[in-house]
Amino acid sequence: MMGLATDGGLLVPSQIPAISAETLNSWRKLSYPELAFQVMKPFVGDAIPEKELKELVNASYATFDTAEVVPVRPMGSSGLFVAELYHGPTLAFKDVALQFLGNLFAAILKKRGGRLNILGATSGDTGSAAIHGVRGKEGIEIFIMYPEGRVSPLQERQMATVPDANVHCIAIEGSFDDGQRVLKECFNDLPFKSAMHLGAVNSVNWARILAQVVYYFWGSFRVHETLGKEIPLQVCVPTGNFGDIFAGYVAQKMGAPIRRLLLATNENDILSRFFNTGIYTRGEVHPTLSPSMDIQVASNFERYLYYRVGEDATKVKALMTGFAKGEAIRLPGQDPQFAAGRGDTAMTLATIKKYWELHKVLLDPHGAVGVAVAEANPLKDTVTLCLETAHPGKFPAAIGQAVGDESLASHPFLEKLKSLPLRKTILKPELPAIEEFMKKNCNG
Ligand SMILES: *Cc1c(COP(=O)(O)O)cnc(C)c1O
């Protein structure tokens, strides 16, 4: 629950358990929640009793709209498979982690008798997944700031129609950057932070990574079932903050049958540049059709660096400190576990169109970046599993642009939101206004 480590670095597990071939085989037939329990158990140890962990996991995936949780489908006989990570309550892959995190936080608070006020700033998607992770949970209030009039109506409805009393949507009169700034100011106001038991649910929380490790095992098993043979796969991951693909790296270290991780970025390509040149340098952020990947500094990359430099935390700290000052990070040599590519806007649109026409599958623009990069980087003697991170219904404009008809991208859940009332408070992005609002509406 501490988020960052006390020295400002990211937390990693003291060791990554190796799973024997025998255990791996015994996992093949498990349901998704059963598998999630097995994958998480060695990391959790006796911090949570087994029975309780099982209940947490079951509750977290019962909110998905299919018992499979993450369905995996072959794209004809192309050798490409797609894992649909968007069957949770906000129709994006962040639900896989945040549904679990919400239940986990609530369980820990109940045990310790504590409380938590979560404050976040969002430009769109993370806010709704966080809200749906903790709505109605005892001991937790959540305050999410977003720029008034600058998120899509659909994104606003996914946040501000949630009726639970512990959810507080703050539409700030300003930009996303204003939201980020006032968020930092709140966390830097140490007396306020400690009096309010202020917490975050950002993408560097280790428990989020842990929940994401599960579907790398699950996806491999489902592909093996379809193929009738158990070969190590290539897994292609559309990436922004390096969170999702870092979970794949952990799964591979544990022994998941993954031969290579294929990292896919859009035009914001700091990560694909790094894996192709060994040089990690900041670029400018370009807005694209896949906004959740419009990132130039990947917060979870630091975790990968740690393993890349031989688990030497001092070295990581030196590299990250240099990077914060504007220096590049240079790591010569290639990591054979990774390949990387970039899918630009034209490729994204062409891929959505192609898969719709060829397979009657509508990809969202993030998943389409992945599939475009996967097509360009096949791996000999194996097939590629592509992670599809959002439902296309969340990005009607991009779908319209690609296939000429926005309405193809609808989802009944999103349609239903249109008739629900909005619950939001409009505030100025100024510290006193935000703090006063939080004090008035906080938990205890
Ligand atoms: C957050 C997000 C991503 C990027 O995930 P990372 O863990 O930051 O790499 C990709 N697609 C969608 C739809 C997302 O919401």
pLDDT score, position 175: 86
Please state the atom number of ligand 1 nearest to the C-alpha of residue 367. 11
- Which positions ≥6 away from 262 have C-beta within 8 Å? 234, 235, 236, 237, 338, 339, 340, 341, 373, 374, 377, 379, 384
pLDDT score, position 204: 83
Res. 295: pLDDT tops 90: no
pLDDT tens sequence across 245-277: 999 999 999 999 999 999 999 999 999 999 999
**What's the chain's average pLDDT?**
94
pTM: 0.95
pLDDT score, position 184: 87
Q: Whose CA is nearest to atom 8 of ligand 1?
A: 241
pLDDT score, position 232: 97
Please state the atom number of ligand 1 nearest to the C-alpha of residue 366. 11
State the DSSP H helix or E strand holding residue 444, giving kind and residue range, or none if neither: none
pLDDT tens sequence across 208-237: 999 999 999 999 999 999 999 999 999 999
Ligand 1 pocket list (CB less than 6 A):
92-94, 125, 203, 238-244, 292-293, 366, 389-390
CA-to-CA dists, residue 407 to 92, 322, 346, 398, 410, angstroms: 19, 48, 21, 11, 6
Res. 190: pLDDT tops 80: yes
Q: What is the layout of strands, in order, in the sheet containing 233-238?
A: 72-74, 80-84, 384-388, 233-238, 258-265, 338-342
pLDDT score, position 321: 94
For a substitution probing ligand 1, which of 84, 125, 261, 292 has the most ligand atoms within 8 Å of its CB?
A: 292
How close is the Cα of 389 to the center of ligand 1, in Å? 7
Kindly indicate the confidence band of residue 9, based on its pLDDT and cuts at 50, 70 and 90. Answer: confident
Please state the atom number of ligand 1 nearest to the C-alpha of residue 238. 10
For a substitution probing ligand 1, which of 241, 274, 387 has the most ligand atoms within 8 Å of its CB?
A: 241
Q: In which region does residue 248 sit, left (phi positive, over 0), alpha (psi from -120 to 50) or beta (all else)?
A: alpha
How close is the Cα of 429 to the center of ligand 1, in Å? 26
Res. 124: pLDDT tops 80: no
How close is the Cα of 135 to the center of ligand 1, in Å? 22
- CA distance linking residue 52 with residue 49, whole number of Å: 5
Res. 443: pLDDT tops 80: no
Q: Whose CA is nearest to atom 2 of ligand 1?
A: 292
Res. 2: pLDDT tops 80: no
Q: Around 103, how many Cα atoms within 13 Å sit in the side-chain half-sphere?
A: 19
Please state the atom number of ligand 1 nearest to the C-alpha of residue 94. 15
- Which positions ≥6 away from 15 have C-beta within 8 Å? none
Which of 284-293, 363-372, 416-425 comes out lowest in average pLDDT? 284-293
Res. 187: pLDDT tops 90: no
Kindly indicate the confidence band of residue 444, based on its pLDDT and cuts at 50, 70 and 90. Answer: low
State the DSSP H helix or E strand holding residue 72, giving kind and residue range, or none if neither: strand 72-74
**Average pLDDT for residues 165-175, to the nearest whole number?**
95
**Which runs of consecutive H residues, i.e. helices, occur in 71-119?**
94-112
pLDDT tens sequence across 78-101: 999 999 999 999 999 999 999 999
Strand-pair category, 258-265 with 233-238: parallel
Strand-pair category, 279-280 with 140-147: unpaired
Res. 3: pLDDT tops 80: no
Kindly indicate the confidence band of residue 17, based on its pLDDT and cuts at 50, 70 and 90. Answer: very high
CA-to-CA dists, residue 227 to 75, 172, 223, 384, angstroms: 13, 51, 6, 12
Kindly indicate the confidence band of residue 422, based on its pLDDT and cuts at 50, 70 and 90. Answer: very high
DSSP strands (E only) in 91-249: 116-121, 140-147, 167-172, 198-199, 233-238
How close is the Cα of 96 to the center of ligand 1, in Å? 12
Residues recognised as catalytic:
94
Q: Whose CA is nearest to atom 1 of ligand 1?
A: 292
- Which residue from 430, 183, 192, 151 is spatially nearest to 291, judged by alpha carbons? 151
How close is the Cα of 55 to the center of ligand 1, in Å? 27
CB 394 within 8 A of CB 414: yes
Say which amino acid occupies 51: K
Helix/strand/coil percent split, the chain, to 5 = 50, 15, 40
- CA distance linking residue 344 with residue 369, whole number of Å: 7
CB 148 within 8 A of CB 171: yes
The pLDDT > 90 percentage for the chain reads 83
Please state the atom number of ligand 1 nearest to the C-alpha of residue 244. 7
Res. 434: pLDDT tops 70: yes
- CA distance linking residue 270 with residue 288, whole number of Å: 15
Q: Which residue's entry shows tokens 């990070």?
A: 329
The pLDDT > 70 percentage for the chain reads 100
